[in-house]
Each structure stands twice: as structure tokens, then as C-alpha cells.
């Protein structure tokens, strides 16, 4: 029976070593590692409790058998009792460690809850940003389309105005004053009752020659007999066959 008790002590020593290995890390554990360590500690605690009960029963049996004659063995029983007390203290330490791990596990769960809340807030903020970005893009496209439409309308109006504009009417304003026809304000001709200076008549003739040549050029028309030479107040009309001035 004593050898059986010592075998039990050796087995419990191995369990203590295993428990020491299990609780050696002092750094924070992840939740999965914490779960695993807690399961191993619970198993070690249950095994230690079971062995303690076995040892206590064996000790009681030895005390009954040996009684007063087992002085030496009684001394050994005192050693065993001390070891049992040490085992109880170790068991208490394991229980305390397990409780600490339970607390750490709760802290990890709270931390995970906080992180999940933060992640949800970040997701909402990201969604809000993309909604605002899309709204801004839509407004910009609508603004660009409106600006382009206005430019097209303005260009169309300008083109219509140009199509209805006659450049020759602006460059050569033809009218009359009294009995005289005028071009750009110069009178073309003279009468006895209202004589006109030759400088004005020549200027009017130069404007008339330039208008006539411009109309012929724009119409791709060539005078068959005469050639108009616009030279301002010195404009001329020349015969084509002999280059004589008319």
C-alpha cells in the first residue's frame, strides 16, 4: 500500500509539472488558446481532485492498520500529509489561475465586442462617404450637361446671326442723297444745280469698282469684254482685247 501511495505521489508530481507547463506563459493569449488552456487546466484539476480523494482514503486506511506500531510509517505519513497539503495549495493555485484565465477570456470577449461595434461604425461611415461621392458625381454631370446645353444654344444663335448677316451690306452701304446715289456716304455723280467735287466722285467710283469686282469674284464670274481694276480713287475699267482704259 505504501508503494502504491508513492506511485500516486509520482503521478501527481507529473501532473504538477504538466500544470506548470500549461500556466507558464505570461503573455496575453488569444481566445482559442485560452479556451484550450482552460480545458486542460480543468482536466488537470479534476484529475488532482480525484487523486487527492484516493490518497486521503489510502492514508486513512494506513492509519487504521498501523496504529501506534507504525511510528516510522507514521513519520512517512507526516511527509505524505505535508505533500498532500502542498498538493492542496497547488490545486488552489490552479483554481486561481483558472479564474484569472476566465477573467481574461471575459476581457477578450468585451474587447471583441468593442471592435465589432467600431467596425460597424466604420462600415456606416464608408457607406455614407460613397453615397455623398455618388451624389456629387451626379450633380457634377448634371451641371456639365446644363453648361454644354447653354453653349450649344449660344453657338446656334451666333451661327444664325452670321447666316443672316450680309457682309457686303456692311462693307458697302448704298443709299441716296437728294438726286445722287451714294456708296458709303460718297456721292456718285454731279449736276449743275448741285456740283460735287471730283475727289468725292472718284472715291465713290473706287468703292463701286471694288464692290463690282467683289461680287464677280464671289460669284466666280468673269466679265467677257471688260476687266475692272479697283484702285481706290484711281480705279479703272480696261478692255480685254487691247488693254485700253475705258
When mean pLDDT is compared over 16-25, 51-60, 204-213, the highest value belongs to 204-213
Dihedrals phi, psi of 184, to nearest 5 degrees: 55, 35
Q: Round to whole Å and give the CA distance between 124 and 128.
A: 6
Per-residue pLDDT band at 2 (split at 50, 70, 90): very low
Higher pLDDT among residues 128 and 87, named by residue? 128
Q: Round to whole Å and give the CA distance between 163 and 133.
A: 45
- In this structure, what DSSP letter does residue 219 have? T
Q: Round to whole Å and give the CA distance between 220 and 216.
A: 6
Q: Round to whole Å and give the CA distance between 207 and 212.
A: 9
Q: Kindly list the distances between the CA atom of residue 197 and the CA atoms of 181, 189, 192, 200, 207, in Å, as whole numbers in the listed order.
A: 15, 9, 12, 6, 16
Element (H, E) at 22: helix 2-23
Query: Which residues lie closer than 8 Å to 213 by C-beta, 6 or more apart?
Result: 228, 230
Q: Is the four-CA dihedral 185, 187, 193, 197 of positive or negative sign? A: positive
Identify the pLDDT of residue 142. 82
Q: Is the pLDDT of residue 74 over 60?
A: no
Quick count: other Cβ atoms within 10 Å of Cβ 19?
Answer: 21
Identify the pLDDT of residue 31. 62
Quick count: other Cβ atoms within 10 Å of Cβ 173?
Answer: 12
Query: Which residues lie closer than 8 Å to 65 by C-beta, 6 or more apart?
Result: 1
Per-residue pLDDT band at 73 (split at 50, 70, 90): very low
Q: Count CA within 13 A, CB hemisphere, residue 212.
A: 18
Coil vs helix vs strand at 196? coil
Predicted TM-score (pTM) of the model is: 0.35
Q: Kindly list the distances between the CA atom of residue 8 and the CA atoms of 66, 78, 187, 217, in Å, as whole numbers in the listed order.
A: 20, 16, 143, 129
Amino acid at each position: 500500500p505504501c508503494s502504491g501511495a508513492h506511485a500516486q505521489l509520482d503521478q501527481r508530481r507529473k501532473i504538477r509539472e504538466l500544470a506548470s507547463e500549461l500556466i507558464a506563459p505570461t503573455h496575453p493569449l488569444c481566445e482559442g488558446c485560452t479556451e484550450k488552456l482552460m480545458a486542460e487546466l480543468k482536466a488537470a484539476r479534476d484529475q488532482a481532485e480525484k487523486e487527492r480523494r484516493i490518497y486521503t482514503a489510502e492514508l486513512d486506511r494506513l492509519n487504521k492498520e498501523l496504529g501506534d506500531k507504525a511510528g516510522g510509517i507514521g513519520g512517512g505519513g507526516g511527509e505524505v500529509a505535508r505533500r498532500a497539503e502542498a498538493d492542496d495549495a497547488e490545486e488552489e493555485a490552479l483554481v486561481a489561475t483558472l479564474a484569472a484565465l476566465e477573467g481574461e477570456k471575459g476581457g477578450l470577449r468585451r474587447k471583441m465586442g468593442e471592435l465589432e461595434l467600431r467596425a460597424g461604425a466604420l462600415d456606416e461611415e464608408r457607406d455614407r462617404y460613397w453615397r455623398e461621392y455618388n451624389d456629387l458625381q451626379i450633380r457634377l454631370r448634371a451641371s456639365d450637361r446644363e453648361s454644354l446645353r447653354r453653349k450649344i444654344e449660344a453657338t446656334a444663335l451666333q451661327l444664325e446671326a452670321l447666316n443672316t448677316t450680309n457682309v457686303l451690306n456692311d462693307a458697302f452701304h448704298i443709299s441716296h442723297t437728294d438726286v445722287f446715289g451714294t456708296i458709303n456716304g460718297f456721292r456718285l455723280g454731279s449736276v449743275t444745280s448741285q456740283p460735287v467735287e471730283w475727289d468725292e466722285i472718284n472715291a465713290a467710283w473706287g468703292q463701286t469698282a471694288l464692290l463690282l469686282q467683289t461680287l464677280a469674284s464671289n460669284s466666280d464670274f468673269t466679265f467677257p469684254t471688260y476687266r475692272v481694276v479697283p484702285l481706290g480713287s484711281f480705279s479703272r475699267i480696261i478692255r480685254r482685247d487691247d488693254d485700253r482704259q475705258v
